[in-house]
Structure 1
């Protein structure tokens, strides 16, 4: 017997939480990077470098989702 919550299976709820939960966390981390750049008065180039370096990990998560979508996994 498969347990459902509001008609969704456990796997569907976990996938939803992973996608939107991590997505929200990524947006929050972008806000932190922006705040760091503003407080340190990094300038345009410094802000670009901060976003580039500190956002590479987040880019990997987004790339994983896009690759799964393209391959239909």
Structure 2
């Protein structure tokens, strides 16, 4: 569930579109190439704003993709 704002318990679908929409709902916006801190509670990583949604999906929601040939799970 969301840890972008105190008290928000919304479940997050692990897609960049949904995560970006949710970030905007909480007032988080930056220029695409601008460096920004991850707004997730307890995270101190800084990255380009264009990578924040993917970072949240991979690191905080812990979504992994499985390779079809070998079945190994990996981050995107």
Mark yes or no: TM-score above 0.5.
no
**Greater relative contact order (Cα < 8 A, sep 6+):** 2
TM-score, normalised via structure 2 length: 0.34
The structure with the larger Rg is: 1
Larger strand proportion, structure 1 or 2?
2
TM-score, normalised via structure 1 length: 0.35
Larger helix proportion, structure 1 or 2?
1
